[in-house]
Amino acid sequence: MGAVSRLLWAPRAWVEGAWANAVTLRAGADGCWVEVIADTACPADADVMPGAVMPAMINAHSHAFQRAFVGLSERRDSARDDFWSWRDRMYAVALRITPDQLYAVAAHLYAELLNGGYTHTCEFHYLHHAEDGQPYASHGGDDGAMSAALARAAQDTGMGLTILPVLYERAGFAQPVLREDQRRFATDVSRVLQLRDTIRAWKLPNVDAGVAIHSLRAASAVSIHELVRACASDAAPIHLHIAEQTSEVADCLAATGLRPIEWLTREVALDARWQLVHATHTTPEEIDAVAATGAGVVLCPGTEANLGDGLCDLPRWLASGTPLSLGTDSHVARTWPEELRLLEYGQRLALRQRNVSAEPSVEASTAARLVGRCLAGGAAAVGQSRWGLVAGARADLLVINDTDPALIGIPPSQLLDALVFAAPARPFALVMVAGAWRAPADTSEAFGDAMAALWPRT
């Protein structure tokens, strides 16, 4: 935890989509911005920021336990390696990790994410039961032990957190029960709602809960509709994986006669609470259908590249006005500038063009357009009505580290472009969450111990 600072002055700040000069920012006792005013003299009692400041980013999709698998799946031992073979190997972590190990892994991850410019994370949380697949209560423990480990890690590092208990009840469209190696994931609608309500009852600062559906293949239509009805009066977000893999699209077509997003937009009355994670394989008609509902899309460029998922139709998603946000997912990348760089570069490689995400009539800067869209979309992904350096939003900000070698000498007007595309090693000097500075947490030893237990040295 850092010292609380209520009055700040920055020589430059990214305010409502543009750089503003001489900005005074005042946070209230509730940890939200009271006022953000440009072109002001520095108040005598203000803390002067050592560089330009900007809003922090929301990480809209995370599986924290998978941080323990990063770097350990980059060898091929069969004729074909794809998402599904990666998943089978990833389950080796899911089947062994304990609540204490999850805490250590999550705390290390959240410290990294804070350093990478994220101040709030959505945990797409499906790892619930004991290693044998039985509820922890059957072993004399707490059924919410894994959720509690995540919440404790967030509290100890200062990360804001939205936990999304996941509906996960079958192995596939034609597999009505879970596989044995999915035994720790089993939930039904009542269990998802119970976990959500338990997390909310903790009343922890900057910790909240919504719900999630793992995917159309992992939850029946009956259960999806039941969960939707149960959440009808709840304003919290609803997330689900969708159309990440071409085989998933083919399986959905075979089972329902419709593509995944096509099925969802026909069967469910989507709204701004809904966040479609990945949405990689789409038709123009599906994109238009999603855009008409107000639902958002969570893009995870680092993970999608690492898993060989494919490239989304980013130009059409941008043109449609659909809210977009970023997720670190399996955490092969843990800074948002890197995620945006990967997002744009994938499009450039596929289309053989440059600055694909820019739109001269709207925003000529690729970085500015992507940052603006992801800041707004991230707010929707966690159910925040306001986000950024604006009165009423949570008092989160980043101080850009303009002494990083990659940023030295950059003209101020193009600092955001360089932040994304010049690849600074340490892009942010300071991070604030809810009006408090968050110093980097020392998590290395506990993380190392957890990794040693999960992956015995050979």
Kindly state whether residues 26 and 130 are assigned to the same domain.
Answer: no
- Dig out the tokens for 78 from the structure: 């069969």
Longest dimension (CA), the chain: 68
> Which range of residues forms the domain containing residue 416?
7-54+390-437
Joined tokens for residue 458: 């050979």
Residue with token string 């998943």: 87
> What pLDDT is stored for residue 6 in this prediction?
86
Same domain as 222, residue 164: yes
Strand partners, 62: 123, 329
Say how many domains are in the chain: 2
Alpha-carbon distance 458 to 453, whole Å?
12
Contact between 391 and 35 (Cβ < 8 Å): yes
Q: Does the residue 449 lie in any domain?
A: no
Q: Is residue 418 part of a domain?
A: yes
Same domain, 288 and 270: yes
pTM > 0.75: yes or no: yes
* Token pair recorded at residue 436: 């408090």
Q: Is 108 a catalytic residue?
A: no
How many Å apart are CA 282 and CA 167, to the nearest integer? 23
The alpha-helical segments, DSSP class H, found in 268-312 are 284-293, 301-306
Same domain as 224, residue 353:
yes
Catalytic residue of the set 143, 309, 329, 402: 329
Distance of alpha carbon 435 from alpha carbon 1, whole angstroms: 11
Q: Please state whether beta strands 7-15 and 207-209 pair in parallel, antiparallel, or not at all (unpaired).
A: unpaired
Query: Among the three residues 336, 351, 381, which one is the final residue of a domain in this structure?
Result: 381
- Residue 152 dihedral angles phi and psi, to the nearest 5°: -65, -40
DSSP 98-121: -HHHHHHHHHHHHHHHHHTTEEEE
Q: Are residues 126 and 239 in the same domain?
A: yes
Tokens matching residue 50? 């050592």
Per-residue pLDDT tens, the chain, 458 aa: give them. Answer: 444 558 999 999 999 999 999 999 999 999 999 999 999 999 999 999 999 999 999 999 999 999 999 999 999 988 889 999 999 999 999 999 999 999 999 999 999 999 999 999 999 999 999 999 999 999 999 999 999 999 999 999 999 999 999 999 999 999 999 999 999 999 999 999 999 999 999 999 999 999 999 999 999 999 999 999 999 999 999 999 999 999 999 999 999 999 999 999 999 999 999 999 999 999 999 999 999 999 999 999 999 999 999 999 999 999 999 999 999 999 999 999 999 999 999 999 999 999 999 999 999 999 999 999 999 999 999 999 999 999 999 999 999 999 999 999 999 999 999 999 999 999 999 999 999 999 888 999 999 999 999 998 76
Task: Give which of 246, 180, 245, 239 is closest to 212, Cα–Cα.
Answer: 239
Find how far residue 425's CA is from the centre of its chain. 21
Is 75 part of a structural domain of the chain?
yes
Tell me the two tokens of residue 151.
């919440």
Do 376 and 417 fall within a single domain? no
Are residues 418 and 315 located together in one domain of the fold? no
The answer to the question of residue 2 being in a domain is no
Question: In this structure, what are the phi and psi dihedrals at residue 397, rounded to the nearest 5 degrees?
Answer: -160, 165
Task: In whole angstroms, give the CA distance from residue 239 to residue 215.
Answer: 9
Residue 34 lies in a domain: yes
In a domain, 454, yes or no: no
- Same structural domain for residues 144 and 282? yes
Say what the alpha-carbon torsion angle 114, 116, 120, 124 is, to the nearest 10 degrees.
Answer: -110
Where are the strands (E) in 250-319, listed by range? 274-278, 296-299
Apex CA 113: angle with CA 112 and CA 116, to 5°? 90
Q: Which residue among the candidates 120, 278, 281, 331 is catalytic per the annotation? A: 278
- Phi first, then psi: give them for residue 118, nearest 5 degrees: -100, 135
What is the spatial distance between Cα 119 and Cα 138, in angstroms, rounded to a whole number?
Answer: 35
Distances, alpha carbon 361 to alpha carbons 3, 259, 365, 369, 425, in Å? 43, 34, 11, 11, 32
Pair (15, 83) in one structural domain: no
CATH number at residue 407: 2.30.40.10
Residues 117 and 15 in one domain: no
Do 28 and 102 share a domain, yes or no? no
- What pLDDT, on a 0 to 100 scale, did the predictor assign at position 1? 41
Q: To the nearest 10°, the Cα dihedral for 423, 427, 433, 438? A: 130
Residue 443 lies in a domain: no
Q: How far apart are CA 183 and CA 94, in angstroms?
A: 10
DSSP string for 76-90: --SS---HHHHHHHH
13 plus 153 within the same structural domain: no
440 neighbors 157 (Cβ within 8 angstroms): no
Q: What is the rounded distance in angstroms from the CA atom of residue 262 to the CA atom of residue 364? A: 33
Q: 42 to each of 12, 401, 417, how far by Cα in Å?
A: 12, 21, 27
Lookup: tokens for 367: 């970085």
DSSP 392: T
Would you state the structure tokens that stand for residue 44, as one six-digit string? Answer: 């005598």
Q: Is residue 304 part of a domain?
A: yes
Is 142 known to be catalytic? no
